[in-house]
Structure 1
Amino acid sequence: MNAEELLRRYSGGERNFTGADLRGIELRDCHLEAANFTNADFTQAKLYRVKFKGVNLSCANFTQARLRYAELEEVNLNHANLTEVSFDAYLKNINLEEVNLKNARLGNIEISNANMKRANLENSCLVEASLLQVNLDEALLIEANLGQAMFQDVSLKNANLERAIFCETSLGNVDLTGARIAGSNLWSECIIDTITTPEGEYIKDYWKILV
């Protein structure tokens, strides 16, 4: 299905695009609301200034897709495959539980009030990303690049941050209880405000930065 057909059917009132083949589709400056794209294939799609609101994208495939200046609000991406996706987007009130973001490029992304429990962010790039009120419990962030990222009110309980890269990363009210941080440089390269350590120790007003 190409962009013209998708937008024509959407404008005609159709909202069920379950399993749609949208590989390589290019969408610009459009607003898709209350639609069902469960199991849809967006492989290598190019989505510019597209807004998804109240959309079901569970189990959708976004492998190698590019989303530039996109907005996703109240969207369900549960179990979606976003391997090697390039995200320059604003995500709010979103479900990303068990989503696959391995090798994803998420620099400058803004994520707020999101469920990312058990998400796979292995080897992903989150440079200058902003995460506010995000649940990353049991997530995989092995070898993820978190340079200059901002984590505020984020839960990383039992997450795997082994060999993760920190550089001037800001941690405010972050819970790392049970997290695995072996091989990472968390303690030497972070700006730390309030944090719960992997051992469960609560530390308030603690700042440490290595330039």
Structure 2
Amino acid sequence: MIRVLIADDQALLRGSFRVLVDISGDCTTVAEAGTGAEAVALAVEHRPDVVLMDVRMPEMDGIEATRRICADPATDGTRVLILTTFDLDEYVYGALRAGASGFLLKDTPPADLLAAVRVVAAGESLLAPSVTRRLIAEFVQRPRPARPVPRRLDGVTEREREVLMLVGRGLSNPEIAEHLGVSLATVKTHIGRILAKLGARDRAQLVIVAYETGLVSPGA
């Protein structure tokens, strides 16, 4: 069973998400949090596989809660999926930097939300399909710290850099495989090695590395 923590300041929404999760057959709700501080404490206590995290909550917002959960060795195996009302919410960028594995809109159909939980629990990253490339296009326009590519990418091979660039452009594994003319298994192997070499939690973090090292540039 995929163990889920639901963090939202609206009790009605928490209840709705809980019902959806608990009737899925392969997911179960382990706890509910009404504030960011509660989400952090309950994540440490229950160590869920996935946290469904609202952004705007009292005491501590979802971004700071995400940062603390993702930085704590006690919750190293926990993935955070941000739920937002807006498809390009300003807070989404901060959430991704904080370590979130992706985001979805709160009006996402129930079946798609459950599919997202499963994807994130499996260690993949997920951005709302309707806005993924818009998100990437917007993100690369933002100022990023000057950081030499060789220093950040020491040990990453030329082929791995190419794969990382394609990840940063928003291509899926099958699309990368087709683009490079290799098998899907080969792409997965490359991504696994890149994650290990860069110490990244998941694909969402690879996207950010691709931006910040200049492998993906505005307009790419």
Q: TM-score surpassing 0.5?
A: no
TM-score (norm 1): 0.33
The structure with the largest helix share of the pair is 2
The structure with the largest strand share of the pair is 1
Q: Which has the higher contact order (CA 8 A, sep 6+)?
A: 2
